[in-house]
Structures are given as structure tokens and as C-alpha cells.
Structure 1
Amino acid sequence: MFGLFDKSQKIKGTVVLMPKNVLDANDLNAVQNGGLGGVVSGLFGAVSDVAGQVVDSTTAILSRNVSFKLISATSTDANGNGKVGKETYLEKHLPTLPTFGDRRDAFAVNFEWDANFGIPGAFYIRNFMYDEFFLVSVTLDDIPNHGSIQFVCNSWIYNFKSYKKDRIFFPNNTYVTSATPAPLVKYRKEELEVLRGDGTGERKEWERIYDYDVYNDLGNPDSDKNLARPVLGGSSTYPYPRRVRTGRKPTKKDPKTEKLAAEFYIPRDEKFGHLKSSDFLTYSLKSLSQTLLPSLENVVDSDFTWNEFDSFQEVRDLYEGGISLPTGVLSAISPLPVFKELFRSDGENVLQLPPPHVIRVNKSAWMTDEEFAREMIAGVNPNVIRCLQEFPPKSKLDPTLYGDQTSTVTKEKLEINMGGVTVEEALAAKRLFILDYQDAFIPYLTRINSLPTAKAYATRTILFLKDDGTLKPLAIELSKPHPSGDNLGPVSKVVLPAIDGVDSTIWLLAKAYVIVNDSGYHQLVSHWLNTHAVMEPFAIATNRNLSVIHPIYKLLYPHYRDTININALARQNLINANGIIEQSFLPGKYSMEMSSVVYKNWVFTEQSLPADLIKRGLATEDPSAPHGLRLVIKDYPYAVDGLEIWDAIKIWVEEYVSLYYPTDVAVQQDTELQAWWKEAVEKGHADLKDKQWWPKMKTRQELIQSCSTIIWTASALHAAVNFGQYPYGGFILNRPTLSRRFIPEPGTKEYDEMLKSPHTAYLRTITPKREAIIDLTVIEILSRHASDEIYLGKRDHPNWTSDSKALEAFKKFGSKLTEIEAKITARNSDSAMKNRCGPVELPYTLLIPSSQEGLTFRGIPNSISI
């Protein structure tokens, strides 16, 4: 009888969170002074409460300083919106359980509930403390007639006065837009409105506003007119993908350029902070830019001779015995934690980098023609080579501006090394290939060669597919602009393979010029533009238009993790005016402009691996072949491994999408989905919005293909072009980034030097010591996996969705990736596949999905996180 009158009950909950560090992990000085360990040790130290008193962080959180209100998914108020429950506060501190993970605290919370409230579908949270904290998750247990509800939050919560509207979180349920429970419709829309903002004002640290802007923050004209850079994006001259808007004020000397800031705004939850070891990578890059660069520059200014490597052994000493650095550099950088592991531990301050994989087994095999060619299909830039389909190779450049750029390579020169096969026969049999950088470099080459130390060619390399499946370079064409004007066409020379005398040195130099082109194009286009830059608009559009409970948001959000942040960091220290890329790669101050010109021809639908291979003539459609494609080069490690990963991604996406979109009409009628795609195209990639190749997002297949392409680009493609940077490029002789002089002419002292000492001639041509140290230190950082990396087929939380069918499909995806990993390992052990390891005996492992922390030369993270 008593129970009839007592309708109220308690819903028990568990809140998992992480307090803010006392020592702010985003403060570079904190890391410099105390190191990463000092940051971590302060994690559960003292914090300030609302009264400004210093108290223990756990005590502060328990002092009624964090409140919650449940929102009903089944019962409405007078306005038809979900009922809002009574405010309640965190209670006792629970013992930290292993399942909560390191550095996480758990607290109890109890909500008053009655049958009229129904099932919770969201909650409001308020933080009354001075400091923010990171809310990991909330679990509600024993809800009558329902069970438990999981809220996966992963968000920073600032003082409630920082927000115009209270922070709201939704459970791990999944709803297409039209299936949203009616009581939650208003709350779903309001949260997206908050994330979009109003497009005005300068963004603040605590905000979570995603908006678009052009790349107008690369230059620093107020500091030096030579540091002015053009705005990328918003014009037909310099089109570019959009980045997150910050709203900073313009510089004084150029109203189109934003002022630099110590910290770039990015939406708060996108920021490396306090929680992840990737912070250490952030500080490493900042230390490089702010400390190493100026220190090395001062040394070179005072002692130019120090800047030259005198022998190949001196280069190898970077990894074997170490290389002495001038006192001025040592005193500046040795206290920084990022550099400590690079110094010998025997008391001598000598820089010693880890041995790059390419010379770990064989120290000289990098010089072979076979390895030079193999790295075009199994190296760090394996997706530029294409099948030669016309001879001689032609150009797409405007002849009124650049003259006749048709190749000067003749059939007679190629057939010298083709074993009796004619050019016509080889073309018909698809046995000729080309690595062509003519069109990418010629428009900028006059300007590049006017830079203080740059002397470069635009290159074309033609290769022949041998009977054993390996590639053989036949000729390298080196082109310079005509001295009387670009419009008169190039001045070209053709260099053929040679193994003896001065011709062999010239051939070695010709290969270096090719790799210098390849290194610059790889860093600016294959890596930065085609993964980092093109992904950011999709990340922005997803957060602005897809609710966290939308199925496509849940599918894609792991593949954006840390991308916006690493891109902002790149604009601060890597691709900015006089930054690391400009200082250590050939295009110098024209680097980003060049990537903008290439973006004009970027096509989203060609970013899937099958479409890319077909476009480059390296595969043909064949329903009877594996993956529906027949490869022209059967032993093409990047393509063979990549197609298996691509298929696994697409099958997973197809199974997942089919759970929520049974028909094409369902895709067309999902208003959030349509708004997402429209904005990604028309705002995120606004300069290409009128291109007819964009999918119209009217069918399930368009949705599946588009999502698969986004996931492939963010995961496998980025892994393939990023994590081999140091293993291959860490040995600067193998992948030089600069060329400083042309091939010497007979009768000059440089030519005589080349006759006497081929190695010296090579070293005086390629990247010098200062720029090499900068380059190697950067790519060593960029090639590492963080300890908390999340790899393809994994999630940061097991309860990312409540949909059991989606979880089962994802489990199958993970199992498939494990199978692929075993198959890649087996292929690498097959001696018949000569391109898998090559003369350097380095197995192709870049598309093996799993990895450990560190410099592993394998592993596919979910996202572009470094």
C-alpha cells in the first residue's frame, strides 16, 4: 500500500572525469622547465575553487561544484520539449577502477526520478569551479523498465559563465535526423547552433565553435616585408581548402592577413591538452621552431664551413657516433626535454639520431638504381608514378606562358637499356612508367632558383618494368626555364644510367634532383595538401551539421581526432613564413603557393585508392581480379596492401550505413546529412564547389563511397605518406630535400672536384648540414606514434554506440584488419616479390594496421593526428 504513494526513486550514476593540471600542459614554458613528467605529476594537485582558495582537486569537485540535470527523452513539458529534472550534484569520490584508465577519477551522482519523467535522453552539466575539467563519461544505472544508459562525453567543461547556454550531452543512442525522439528535437538543434556560432568575433579558448576561414595566417608582414605571404583560398589564383576560423585581428601592413598569436584558437575539444602524450610532440615542434632554428642560423652565419658535410661517413655519424654541435646551439637546446633523447648519454653533448630503417641492414644499397625505382612504389611517396601512355611525354602547361614543354627524351635513348624491346612494344604492353614533376615545378622554377641557395631542375624519370617485376630507370630529363624567359620553353638535358667514371657521378646527381623534386612534392602535396588540408573542411562540416547522435557523425568522428589541432600547429611552426618547411625544402617561400596551384586539379572522387590507381594507369577494372582491379605492376606494395585496406573500410561502411539508410530516399530525406554534405562542398571546399564531379549525395552508394573516401584519406593514405618519412628520409643522402647547384660544366672547378671526389660533389649539391638537422629532427618526430594512438579498427570507448548490430559490424571490420596484417607479413617473406624489401632489405610495412608507440614504420591511426 505504501508503494502506491511513493513514486520517486533514485537513479544512480557514475561520472568519470579528469581534473585540469595545476601545471598547464599547454604552456610551453612548463614543459621546458619541468618536462613532461612535471606536468603529469601535477595532474591531481591543487586547484582553485570558486572563492579563489587553493584546495585539493578532488575536494573542490566534491564541494557541490559540479551539477547535473537530466532531460527526458519520453516526457515533455508544456512546450513539447523534453522535461528537465531537478538539479543534483556530484557526491562521493569512488575508488579509481582499472577500467577507468590512468589519470581518471570516478564520482557518484544520484538523480531523483519518478515514473512521469520517463527515460533520460540527455543531461545538462554546470561547472561552478574556476578551472575546467575533462568529462570522460557518465553512466546511469538501473533505470526502471530500461536498464543502464551510457554517455560518452570526452569534452572539456569550463565554468558555466563561459557559455551562453548550458553544456548538454546525449547518450550513445543513434538516430537519423527524422528518428529523433520528439522531446529531444529542440535540444539536438540547439546544440548544433552552438557549435556553428554566428560567424563573428574573435574565438576564445573555452569555445567550441566550428567555422570556416581562408589560409590568411601564414605570413608575418608586420615583422618583415619578406615574411608576407599570399592568402590561400577565396580566389581563382590561389584556391585552397578552408581551415577553422579564429577571428583574429588583421596585421597593420596587410589587412588581409591575420595577426600571429602565441596560441591559435581551435575548438576546445580538438586541442591536445593535459591528457595525451601527443602534447609532447606539440612542444617538440614548437621547440624546433623557436629554439633550434635560430640557434643553427646563428652558427651558420658565424661559421659557414660548419654547414657542410665533408664525407658520407660524417652523415652516417649522425646515427653511429654522433655529430658535434657548436656550443651556442648546445647551450640553447640541450635543456629542452625534446632534445634530451637525441644527445649521447656518455657525458658528451653530441647529437645522435636513431638509425633510419633504410640503412639498418645495408648502408649503401640506397644508391642502387633498383632501390631508387622501388621507392616510387614502396617508399614514402608511392602514389605519384604513373603508366606512360604517350610518347614523348607532354605537358598540360599553357604554351603561351611556358613554351613547348614536350619531353626531349628520344626513343633511341630509352631503347639502349630496354633489352631489345622497342618503345612501341613497351607502351602497348604497359611496361613504361614515368615520375613526372615537369608541370608542378616549371611555373615556379625561375623564382625558386632565385632563392639564395636553390639551384634545381624540373624532372621527368622514365622507367621500364622488367620481367622479374622490378622497375628499371631508363632516363632522367632535367629541365630549367629558358634564361631569356619562361615563355621560350625549357632548357633540357637527358641523363642516362652509368656505372663508371664521371658519367656515374652525373647519374647519381640526376637521381638526387629527382628526389629533391619528389621530397618537396611529397611534403607539400601528397602529405600536407592531400591529407591534412583537404580533411579539415570535412571535420568542420561534420561538427557543424551532424549531431553527436547522428549515425554518420558516429562513423566519422574518430577519423578527425587531432587533425584540426595538428593543422593549426603546422600553420604556426611548419608551413608558416620562414618556418621549418620553407627552410628545409626546395620550394622555400613558394611552398604553399605551389600546393595551392596543385589543388586546382584536386578531385574528391579520385581520392579513393581504386580511382587513383585507374587514373594513373596503374590498374584496370576487371571483375574477375581481386578487388575488381587488375594491377599493371603486380608487385606494387602500396597498391596491393592498400586495396585490401580500402575494401575492408568500404565493406564496414556499407554494412554500417545500411543499418540506418535502407533506401536512397532515406539519404535524400535526412536533413542533417544533406546540410553536412552541402556545406562541406560549398563552404569547406568553396573554391571547387562548382565542379561537376562532386557526389550529389542522393544515393546510398554516394554516401558509402564518400564516407569510405574520407576514412581512407584520414587513416591509410596518411599513414602511407607519413610514417615512412624518417625510415626512408632520415638518411639525407637517400632523400635530399634541397639542391644547391646545377650539374657542373666541363672546365669549371666544380667539374674538376666532381672528377676527384664524387661524394664531395654530391654533398655540395644536396641539403647541407644545418637544413639536414632541421629536416631530420622534424621528420623523426612526425614519424612517431604516440602512446595513446588509436588505430584503424579500434575506438576510444567500447560503448561508442548502443546499436548492437553496428558493434557487431565493427568487430568484423577489426577481425578483417587482423587478417590483412597477417597477409602483409606473409607477402613480405615471399622472396619472389622483389619490390617488398628491395636491395635495402626493408619490408614494406606502412599499411600494417597495428603498431606500438614510437618509430615503428607501421601502423594506421584512425586519423591524421601528427
Structure 2
Amino acid sequence: MSNGREMKGTLVLMTKNMLNFNHKVRKVDAISTSKVTKADEISTSKIEMRLLGAAGKGKKTLLGKHLASSSNLGNGQDSFSVTFKLDENFKTPEAFFIKNSMESEFFLVSLTLKGNSNDIHFVCNSWIYSAQKERIFFINKTYLPDKTPKYLIEPRKEELKSLRGDGKGTLKEHDRIYDYDVYNDLANPDKSVLGGTDDYPYPRRGRTGRKPTKKDKNSETYIPRDENLGHLKSSDFLTYGIKLLSENVITRFKSASGLMNEFDKFDDINELFERELPHNLPEDVVRNIKEISRVIGERFLKFPTPDVIRAGESAWRTDEEFGREMLAGVNPCVIQRLQEFPPKLDASMYGDQTSTITREHLKKNLGNLTVEEALNSKKLFILDYHDAFLPFLKKINGDHNTKCYATRTIFLLLKDGTLKPLAIELSEGDTSGAHSTVILPAKEGVEGTIWLLAKAYVLVNDSSYHQLVTHWLNTHAIIEPFVIATNRNLSVLHPIHKLLSPHYRGTMNINRIARQSLFNAGGIIEQSFLPGCDALKMSSAAYKNWVFTDQALPNDLVKRGMAIKHPSAPHGLRLVIQDYPYAVDGLEIWSAIERWVKDYVDVYYSKDSDVSNDTELGDWWKEVVEKGHGDLKDKPWWPKLKTLQDLYEICSIIIWTASGLHAAVNFGQYPYGGYILNRPTLSRRLIPKEGSDYDEMEKNPEKAYLRTFTPKYETLVHLSVIEILSRHASDEVYLGQRDNPYWTYDTKALRAFEKFGEKLKDIEEKIKRRNRDSSLRNRNGAVQMPYTVLLPNNEEGLTFRGIPNSISI
């Protein structure tokens, strides 16, 4: 202790969040230590603190003087001195209390106390309001519930109780309550509900307690206050950009002349890139575009050239690139090995809708192989969207603006490791019956145009399924219940809270913005993707078949037939396609996460009974299953969380989903989909029959293509969104990093984390070497795009690489 009876320290805080979405955007107010004349200034006499240690609570003290600026402080942060008076018997503090009596809130970053030998650190990162009772912050030590010092037991319980709330009332800005609700905030909240029903099951979101309303689209404003962290330059900027885009820009695009037309030729799309703003936009739209440009740090709507056409403007349309993107594109986790021919559906659900692709269809491009030989040698693969789209076809095709097929595509694995498309099946109809057409590869004439169109129909299916299921459902929506349950049931003193919390940073915030501005009724997703107002119904239908344990990458690969379990092979798997970039790089990342989780967990748990006897851990998992994913609570595949192996698996899946999986399916959106021809999101007519439109396919194939797929307005909407979604924030924290070096005092845990970081550096070098290996054809392809999305580290911007810890955009 300093001077024996007092302890000195430094408190770091910020006064305002620059981008507080609960209010209008407001400037960050400077901290002043002169006369207190404004509510936003810090009044040191109105911030009261006291320490907690083995001898009980220490004496109350007030915040001291404002300290000189330091290079160690982040943007917008200021530091203040604090001196605690101590009793003779007071020992090392394990927690401190703080009370704010000012009118305005502030963001508490940290408290550092000067000890006899080492500094004592409290990492806080929380908003402090006058409306809140005395708040407690714990030292960065870790205790299992039954190992908690007696004097911390009640504060630990009380803090969790305050985060759970009582399940009643409308929640206010200053509340820190985590609770569950169904998705009744998307359209008509009295009728349009996802979750809580057998027809439309869904993961739960955070509860606000607001009453359902048909009129106020902005009523969904609450998230637990600490989920809107208060960084000055962060993912908040990107989410703010989405909000501005949705509310103030896209709604006015339609008034700009020419934006409601079709593109006339492919060159019209190329002219979108690296140019100035589209002409004839209203003045207020231009102002908002300039504001978004300021926020994201680059010129908005001056679209950068997508990576997929940097090497040339025609490579995207080759069959080789079409197959490569199923293994190394933005949606590489759907393709399966074909294990029976012809592909079949569950007849009890759909009636007999066995594929109409025949052996004769495939024989033409199989070379010397028969279908059976290709099946048995594991050389046939399928991209199957028939089941996902069939229930929605009748409604989609009944709309005068959209027409589509449910597709199946069969590929052959060639000797050079690439996939060659053999046939595409285009199905019309509904669950009562379907009419299918099989399209075969062709390069010239009308047949060549029809083949290009057929591939584009597949890509419309793939783009929509990617956004609604692979990306939104399987990462964003799936993780939110874990965020809620962790904060409600695992104390910040709990080792698993410390392990998982970095992988939740910003998720509830971006999910709220997505429900307000992307997935809301009539919003961006419904406007620019094929399923339209049935978008989230399709997502809900996919959730019925979601399995938690299948989110482990090795399990996913085995389930899809893309790998076979083999104990002596790397990662215990033998890949069926050796040059499968997503799987090869992903398994390296997965194994590193799995090793890190085991090393960390073993610091605190030595045997299975340590896991089964952990009361907080048991409550956490029970709530995840029964409330957070309550619509699937009776499924037999949920781990029981009784053993160390259960705990390793559960934590590894959560971390992989929030980091590696999300990075793989998010940050390639603009590099691949920014060129709308490569990944169209809408189709507006079926393949023309013989006649004038049929002749157009021969005389002007570009026009035929552009008349069929995403037009100007929807393209501009789509590109505007995915450009933001594909960006990294300047203060992003990547896998193997922490935003504060003092996140724990446990030296064994710190050594394990350092080992994890070193492993990720090794993986990064391996990925770079693989990308330079010209024998690996799927690594770069005809478009010369190295597979970089699973390179762990990164920097700010539209970089097409980097694995953030969490889903924050």
C-alpha cells in the first residue's frame, strides 16, 4: 500500500459516445476541470468511490484532479487521480464501487491502483449513470463459483441478479439488463413473429420490454447499455453508416432519374466503379452520402473496383470460376458430395420430386467415367437449393417483379482439383409438384447464353441463401442468445466469461441495426434479394434443421461428405477435395481455437466433476438451450455440459462461429458480390421460350442477361450495403488479440493465450505460402483472387482479409 494507509490510482473515462444510436448523433464533449457549468462536464465532487477487500468495504473517496494528457490514452479519453484512505487492516482490493451523482453519464474505461510491487488493474468498459445504484467492478482475477472468496460471494450474486432484471417493464437507456424476446420487431409486431412458434422457430434476440406497435418503426431502440461501447472510431461508425444509408439515402434513390431502369450492357456496370456519385441525386441524399463518406473514411458511392474483375472483366463467367467460388468464394460451406443418384427429396414432405437429371445428361461431360464410377470414387458434388426454395416458388413467381427457379447443380472433380459443372436443374412449381428443365454446358450461340443464364439462376439462389442463412442466421442470429445467457449467468469473475466475452463484442448492436435497417419489413434485404417479404421465413425454415454440434467445422465437413474421419490425418480428417481453401485454412484456424480452448479450460478445471458441479456454468447452458434456443430445446443433439470434453466443444464452436466462420462468409461480400454480374441477387424472368425474346439471346446475349437479373436500383442498394458490411473498423480486435493486456492476472492463461497468438502467426504464413502455390488451382483461379479471408490479422478498411474476434459488422 502507498504510505501504508492510502492507495493512489488513476481513473480513465470518456464523457460521451460519439455515435450513440439511442439519440441523434452528437459531438464528443471535452472533459473540463474548470468551473462546472455544463451537465456534460465531469464534476469530481459528484463521483464517489470505495474499495472492497477481505476486510470489507473501504472508506468513501471522491474523484481527484484531472491529469495531464498521456500518449497511453485512447481517443477521447481523459484520466483523473484518485486516492483511497484505508484502515489499518485493509489488504489488497478485489473490487471497487463507484457512484455517479452528475446529471450526465460517462464511460468508465479503467482503474489502475499503485501497489507495493505491481499495479492493480480493473478493466471496466461500462457506462455509469446517475440513475444507477452504486456499481461494482471486480479485479481481473478468475474464480470458479465454489472457489470465490467469502467477501465476494454476495457481490458476485448481486451483480448477476442486476443483469438479469425481473423480466418486466420497458427497459431504459441506463439499464444493463439482458433478457430474451422473439423477433416481433421486423414488420407488423402483432402478426409477424419469428420464434416461439412451431411454424416459424428462431433464435431469441434481446428483450426491450416495449409494447408491440404497428406505427413506430424506430421504437426498437434498447440494447444493454454496455453493448454500445463508446469507442470513438469503431464498428459504431460502420453501423451508423448502415443506419444513414437505410433511413436517409436508399429511400430517395428512386427519385433519381435513370436509377429505375435496367442496365443496357455489361460496360454500364463497369462504369459504376471508381466514378463520382450517380447523377441527378437529390441534394439531401448527396448531403447524407457525404456524411457516410466522413464516417467510413472513404468516398461513399464511389465504389472501388471489386477484386473479382481486377484481373479482367470476363474471367468471372468461366465454368472454372463458377466451380471455384463454391470452394473459395463468399459462400463455401454449402456444397456437398453427391452420395446417391439421382438426388432425392423427402417424399413425405414434398411428394415425389426426384431430380430429373439423368445419367445421359451427365455422360456427355464425364469422359471415360460412368456415373457409378464417379460416385464411388467421390468425384461428384452437388449444390442443392431445390429444397430451400421450392416452398417459396409459387409466391415469388406470382409477383410480377420476380421469377426464379429452385436449382440443383452437379459438379465433377477434375484431376487438377477444380470443379467442372456438368448439369443444372431448374425447377418450377411448388411442393405439390414441380416441372424441371435440365441445362447442359455450352459456350456458343443461344445454348451458350442459356447456360450463362442457368448459372446466374444458381447464383441468385446462392446469394439469397448466403445472406439469409449462411451469414445472418448461422452467425449473427445464432450467437445473440449466447451473448445474453453469458451476461445473465456467468460472472465476470468466471473463467468462461473471460474466455467468451471478446467474441461477443458489438454483436447485439449490429443485430439491432440489422433488424431496424436491413431485415425490417420493406427494408434493404427484402428489396434487393429474391425471397422478398418471405426472406426471414426462408431463414426460419433453415433454422428448423440447424444443429449446434454441426457448427464445428470438422463435423460440418463430414456431414456434407466433404471430409472423411481419419485418425492419422491432419485434424483427424481426410478432405475429399484436397484443394478446398475454406476447409484447408478453416481447419487450421479451428484446430488452433480448439487447442487454445483446451489449454485455457484446463487451467481452471481438472476433472469432469469440476464442470458438472459448476453452478453458474450449469445455469448458463440450461438457459442457452431452454430459452435462447428454446424452439429447439428438445433436440437430442445438444451437449449435456457434464464433462470437460463437452466444455471444450461448446466453447470452440462459439468462438469459431463468431470469428472464423463469420469472417469467411462476410468479408468477401464486396470483393465477389460487388460485381453484380458475378453474384446477382434477383431474377425477374424465366428463360425465354422461342420467339422474340429467344432471338434476343442469340443477337444480344448481354441484354438478355441484364433483362433477367438485378437491375440498376437494386444493384445500387446492394452494393451500398455490402461495401459497408465488408469493411473492418480501425479499432477492430482480431483473433489472438485482446483489447486490454490486463484482461486476466492468471499467468498460465496468459501463457496459453500467447501460444495461441503464435500459432495464428504460423497459420498466416502457411496460408500465404499456399496462395503462392500455382499447383493449387482453387487458391487464385482465373480471376487471380488469392484466398485471404481467413488470414487472421488485418488493418482497417475494405481489405478482403482478417478474422475479428466477434461479429461486429
Q: Same fold (TM over 0.5)?
A: yes
**What is aligned with 1:324?**
278
Q: Partner amino acid for 1:472?
A: K
Whole-Å separation in 1 of the counterparts to 2:32 and 2:441: 65
- Please say if residues 47 and 56 of structure 1, whose CA atoms lie closer than 8 Å, have aligned partners that are also in contact: no
Whole-Å separation in 1 of the counterparts to 2:184 and 2:62: 45
Whole-Å separation in 2 of the counterparts to 1:362 and 1:732: 15
Whole-Å separation in 2 of the counterparts to 1:172 and 1:87: 22
The alpha-carbon deviation at position 320 of structure 1 amounts to: 4.5
The alpha-carbon deviation at position 451 of structure 1 amounts to: 2.5
The alpha-carbon deviation at position 699 of structure 1 amounts to: 0.2
- Please say if residues 322 and 350 of structure 1, whose CA atoms lie closer than 8 Å, have aligned partners that are also in contact: no
**What is aligned with 1:444?**
392
Match of 2:70 among 81, 97, 100: 97
Match of 1:26 among 21, 30, 45: 21
**What is aligned with 1:696?**
640
Whole-Å separation in 1 of the counterparts to 2:762 and 2:588: 10
**What is aligned with 1:476?**
424
The alpha-carbon deviation at position 655 of structure 1 amounts to: 0.3
Relative to structure 1, the CA distance from residue 47 to residue 609 in structure 2 (aligned partners, 3 Å threshold; closer, same or farther) is farther
**What is aligned with 1:154?**
125
**What is aligned with 1:810?**
753
**What is aligned with 2:334?**
384
The alpha-carbon deviation at position 755 of structure 1 amounts to: 1.9
- Structure 1 window deviating more from structure 2 (12-21 vs 587-596): it is 12-21
Relative to structure 1, the CA distance from residue 322 to residue 359 in structure 2 (aligned partners, 3 Å threshold; closer, same or farther) is farther
**What is aligned with 2:763?**
820
The alpha-carbon deviation at position 117 of structure 1 amounts to: 2.3
The alpha-carbon deviation at position 352 of structure 1 amounts to: 2.8
- Please say if residues 462 and 473 of structure 1, whose CA atoms lie closer than 8 Å, have aligned partners that are also in contact: yes
Match of 2:511 among 557, 561, 567: 567
**What is aligned with 1:88?**
61
Classify the secondary structure of the residue corresponding to 2:512.
helix
- Please say if residues 19 and 134 of structure 1, whose CA atoms lie closer than 8 Å, have aligned partners that are also in contact: yes
Alignment of 1:582-661 (within 5 A): 582-661=526-605
Relative to structure 1, the CA distance from residue 352 to residue 826 in structure 2 (aligned partners, 3 Å threshold; closer, same or farther) is same
Classify the secondary structure of the residue corresponding to 1:393.
coil
- Structure 1 window deviating more from structure 2 (727-736 vs 358-367): it is 358-367
The alpha-carbon deviation at position 326 of structure 1 amounts to: 2.4
**What is aligned with 1:512?**
456
Whole-Å separation in 2 of the counterparts to 1:290 and 1:244: 23
Q: Partner amino acid for 1:71?
A: L
**What is aligned with 2:780?**
837
The alpha-carbon deviation at position 230 of structure 1 amounts to: 2.2
Q: State the Cα deviation string for residues 529-558 of structure 1 (Å, max 9, x = none).
A: 000000000010000000001000000000
Counterpart check, 1:312 vs 2:269: no
The alpha-carbon deviation at position 333 of structure 1 amounts to: 3.1
**What is aligned with 1:251?**
213
Match of 1:106 among 75, 79, 88: 79
Percent identity over the alignment?
60
**What is aligned with 2:359?**
411
The alpha-carbon deviation at position 452 of structure 1 amounts to: 3.4
Relative to structure 1, the CA distance from residue 46 to residue 280 in structure 2 (aligned partners, 3 Å threshold; closer, same or farther) is farther
- Structure 1 window deviating more from structure 2 (623-632 vs 285-294): it is 285-294
Whole-Å separation in 1 of the counterparts to 2:182 and 2:297: 44
Relative to structure 1, the CA distance from residue 667 to residue 30 in structure 2 (aligned partners, 3 Å threshold; closer, same or farther) is closer
Relative to structure 1, the CA distance from residue 305 to residue 657 in structure 2 (aligned partners, 3 Å threshold; closer, same or farther) is closer
Classify the secondary structure of the residue corresponding to 1:114.
coil
Alignment of 1:502-581 (within 5 A): 502-581=446-525
- Please say if residues 325 and 350 of structure 1, whose CA atoms lie closer than 8 Å, have aligned partners that are also in contact: no
Relative to structure 1, the CA distance from residue 229 to residue 731 in structure 2 (aligned partners, 3 Å threshold; closer, same or farther) is farther
**What is aligned with 2:252?**
295
Residue correspondences, number: 809
Classify the secondary structure of the residue corresponding to 2:769.
helix
Classify the secondary structure of the residue corresponding to 1:99.
coil
Q: Partner amino acid for 2:8?
A: K
Q: Partner amino acid for 1:847?
A: L
Classify the secondary structure of the residue corresponding to 1:120.
coil
Whole-Å separation in 2 of the counterparts to 1:48 and 1:600: 61
Q: Partner amino acid for 1:780?
A: E
Whole-Å separation in 1 of the counterparts to 2:23 and 2:371: 59
Whole-Å separation in 2 of the counterparts to 1:735 and 1:44: 49
**What is aligned with 2:43?**
61
- Please say if residues 22 and 222 of structure 2, whose CA atoms lie closer than 8 Å, have aligned partners that are also in contact: no
Whole-Å separation in 2 of the counterparts to 1:534 and 1:439: 22
Q: State the Cα deviation string for residues 174-231 of structure 1 (Å, max 9, x = none).
A: 001111001110000000000000000001001100000000110147xxxxxx8621
Q: State the Cα deviation string for residues 240-282 of structure 1 (Å, max 9, x = none).
A: 00000001112269xxxxx533552000000153533322212
Whole-Å separation in 1 of the counterparts to 2:508 and 2:35: 30
- Please say if residues 545 and 676 of structure 1, whose CA atoms lie closer than 8 Å, have aligned partners that are also in contact: yes
Scaled by the length of structure 1, the TM-score of the pair is 0.90
Q: State the Cα deviation string for residues 51-96 of structure 1 (Å, max 9, x = none).
A: xx32783xx333x121101112x22xxxxxxx11111011122223
- Please say if residues 276 and 302 of structure 2, whose CA atoms lie closer than 8 Å, have aligned partners that are also in contact: yes
The alpha-carbon deviation at position 594 of structure 1 amounts to: 0.7
The alpha-carbon deviation at position 362 of structure 1 amounts to: 1.7
Counterpart check, 1:365 vs 2:327: no
- Please say if residues 12 and 111 of structure 1, whose CA atoms lie closer than 8 Å, have aligned partners that are also in contact: yes
- Please say if residues 244 and 288 of structure 2, whose CA atoms lie closer than 8 Å, have aligned partners that are also in contact: no
Q: Partner amino acid for 2:211?
A: K
Q: State the Cα deviation string for residues 478-529 of structure 1 (Å, max 9, x = none).
A: 00106xxx41x11100000001110000000000000000000000000000
Q: State the Cα deviation string for residues 337-381 of structure 1 (Å, max 9, x = none).
A: 345479999xxx995311101111121100000000100010000
Match of 1:464 among 412, 424, 433: 412
Q: State the Cα deviation string for residues 435-478 of structure 1 (Å, max 9, x = none).
A: 00000000111111222311000000000000111100000000
Whole-Å separation in 1 of the counterparts to 2:652 and 2:723: 30
Q: Partner amino acid for 2:686?
A: F
Counterpart check, 1:858 vs 2:798: no
Relative to structure 1, the CA distance from residue 28 to residue 48 in structure 2 (aligned partners, 3 Å threshold; closer, same or farther) is farther
- Please say if residues 475 and 497 of structure 1, whose CA atoms lie closer than 8 Å, have aligned partners that are also in contact: yes
Q: Partner amino acid for 1:730?
A: G
The alpha-carbon deviation at position 334 of structure 1 amounts to: 3.7
Q: State the Cα deviation string for residues 679-729 of structure 1 (Å, max 9, x = none).
A: 011100000001110000000000011000000000000000000000000
Whole-Å separation in 2 of the counterparts to 1:541 and 1:70: 29
Match of 2:196 among 231, 234, 238: 234
- Structure 1 window deviating more from structure 2 (318-327 vs 618-627): it is 318-327
Q: Partner amino acid for 1:440?
A: A
The alpha-carbon deviation at position 30 of structure 1 amounts to: 3.7
- Please say if residues 22 and 221 of structure 2, whose CA atoms lie closer than 8 Å, have aligned partners that are also in contact: no
Whole-Å separation in 2 of the counterparts to 1:591 and 1:7: 66
Classify the secondary structure of the residue corresponding to 1:750.
helix
**What is aligned with 1:801?**
744
Q: Partner amino acid for 1:217?
A: D
- Please say if residues 562 and 863 of structure 1, whose CA atoms lie closer than 8 Å, have aligned partners that are also in contact: yes
Counterpart check, 1:276 vs 2:257: no
Match of 1:354 among 304, 310, 321: 304
- Please say if residues 12 and 108 of structure 2, whose CA atoms lie closer than 8 Å, have aligned partners that are also in contact: yes
**What is aligned with 1:15?**
11
Q: Partner amino acid for 2:263?
A: F
Classify the secondary structure of the residue corresponding to 1:111.
strand
The alpha-carbon deviation at position 113 of structure 1 amounts to: 1.3
The alpha-carbon deviation at position 9 of structure 1 amounts to: 0.7
Whole-Å separation in 2 of the counterparts to 1:198 and 1:331: 44
Counterpart check, 1:285 vs 2:242: yes
Q: State the Cα deviation string for residues 567-590 of structure 1 (Å, max 9, x = none).
A: 000000000100100000000000
Q: Partner amino acid for 1:824?
A: I
Q: Partner amino acid for 1:245?
A: R
Match of 1:783 among 726, 742, 745: 726
Structure 1 residues not aligned, in runs of 5+? 32-38, 76-82, 222-227, 254-258
Scaled by the length of structure 2, the TM-score of the pair is 0.97
- Please say if residues 454 and 739 of structure 1, whose CA atoms lie closer than 8 Å, have aligned partners that are also in contact: yes
